[in-house]
Amino acid sequence: MSSMSSLFMKTPSHANPFHKTPINHNTNKPILTRVSTRVIQPTTTRGVKTRVRCGLIEPDGGKLVQLVVPESERDIKKRVANDLPKVKLSRIDVEWVHVLSEGWASPLTGFMRESEFLQTLHFNSLRLGDGSVVNMSLPIVLDIDDVQKDRISGSNSVALIDSNDDPVAILNNIEIYKHNKEERIARTWGTTAPGLPYAEEAITGAGDWLIGGDLEVIQPIKYHDGLDRYRLSPSELREEFEKRNADAVFAFQLRNPVHNGHALLMTDTRRRLLEMGYKNPVLLLHPLGGFTKADDVPLSWRMKQHEKVLEDGVLDPENTVVSIFPSPMHYAGPTEVQWHAKARINAGANFYIVGRDPAGMAHPVEKRDLYDADHGKKVLSMAPGLERLNILPFKVAAYDKKQKKMEFFDPSRAQDFLFISGTKVDRTFLLLDSHLSTKIGPFFPLCSVLILKGQCRPISL
């Protein structure tokens, strides 16, 4: 089978992408909206009519923002940066520069100014100059402390430097405003309880001021961790989808290894899209690559596992693109999942698979989940600025003890199914070999990666 790297080889092709109208998942009927695109053909799937329309979905704001300066200007920008007041970036700050620089947050052109910050906190959206609204549910901001604020007072631009004091970007036309950390946490997570991973890492100890402005990123962000080849920008992903003649792109985000329940869901989604009338739906398997909490499986291990999933044919490499999404993880439930969906629009996806409790976590203090497991998909179906995106709810898969494999849950014979927590298994086993004669084998297609764990213990199903 093709290796992961072969998925991104340049091959001549002609793209003819499509997208369709959103579906109301409470009624299982399409939400019909007035559109200017041409209707290609109606199809019927399980009694639901859908419309297939021509044209790869446009990025938010109509244009993909790209903030990396041309190579011919980089030496000049470095010299300019050396003469400016400096703001040092944390690792998470650099990840946000990466996100902004490639247009994942289009139409943002830099770290948020106060008006954008307030709209995001209060409305989960931004109103553009033409009156249109785009989704924006998470603040993308840069904090500074009192000392930094005094040092850059009166400047119109500042240089953003990394931990090695190398210039990363220039922030122009800056605006400094108050960082109300408690309100930011409360509105983003719905709680101010201690123990929220992102809040503790990036907010509670942050500066009391925020600085916004327009970014000029001096060169593409690289991590030199052996995974940069998987970090495709929205522009590169769109090019890849066109090369593959994709007429639909369905995105699936995860932050743990793929198990057979995931694989069943993704292959079934492609089957459903083919039934709707699409000719070549392409899966964007898009693991999150920014900050994650300590007990999540490390990115390098996940990527090796994803590669083996393709090599062993669990997912078809001909219609699967694996790429890393550079955003940090907030674990902010229905608020954050809007950001995850919005970013995939900018990458060209017009379908988004959403599971139970997306971007959720256990309550950091109480013995319960922080969010209602069904609210994520409900919020996505109603969120302002996401009307163009088709939301595909996660079908429940479980281990069928009779069939001895993962199948979609059939409530009429509930006693035959065993529910296994993927997160719990991930933490216990991390990576397993799919050819082991253990009962976990049907759950995990984790081929030949025992070197990462040393050995694996079977469990009883």
> Is the pLDDT score of 41 beyond 60?
no
Tell me the per-residue pLDDT of 292-306, one tens digit each, with 9 for 90 and over: 999 999 999 999 999
pTM, 2 dp: 0.81
What are the angstrom distances between the C-alpha of 214 and each of 108, 151, 157? 9, 19, 9
- The stretch 393-404 carries a mean pLDDT of 71
Between 31-40, 156-165, 260-269, the lowest mean confidence (pLDDT) is in 31-40
Q: Are 218 and 250 in contact (CB under 8 A)?
A: no
Map out the domains of the chain with their CATH numbers.
5-16+227-393 (3.40.50.620), 71-217 (3.10.400.10), 397-452 (no CATH)
Tell me the per-residue pLDDT of 315-328, one tens digit each, with 9 for 90 and over: 999 999 999 999 99
CA–CA separation, 400 and 405 (whole Å): 5
> Is the pLDDT score of 138 beyond 90?
yes
CA–CA separation, 134 and 118 (whole Å): 14
Q: What is the pLDDT of residue 240?
A: 98
pLDDT tier at 263, thresholds 50, 70, 90: confident
Q: What is the pLDDT of residue 118?
A: 99
Beta bridge partners of 321: 284
Please tell me which residue, 54 or 406, carries the higher pLDDT value: 406
Token pair belonging to 363? 């309550």
Q: What are phi and psi of 217, to 5 degrees?
A: -90, 125
Tell me the per-residue pLDDT of 17-28, one tens digit each, with 9 for 90 and over: 333 334 444 444
pLDDT tier at 406, thresholds 50, 70, 90: low
Q: What is the pLDDT of residue 114?
A: 99
Q: What is the pLDDT of residue 31?
A: 36
Cβ burial, residue 267 (10 Å; 0-12/13-18/19+)? middle
Beta bridge partners of 369: 362
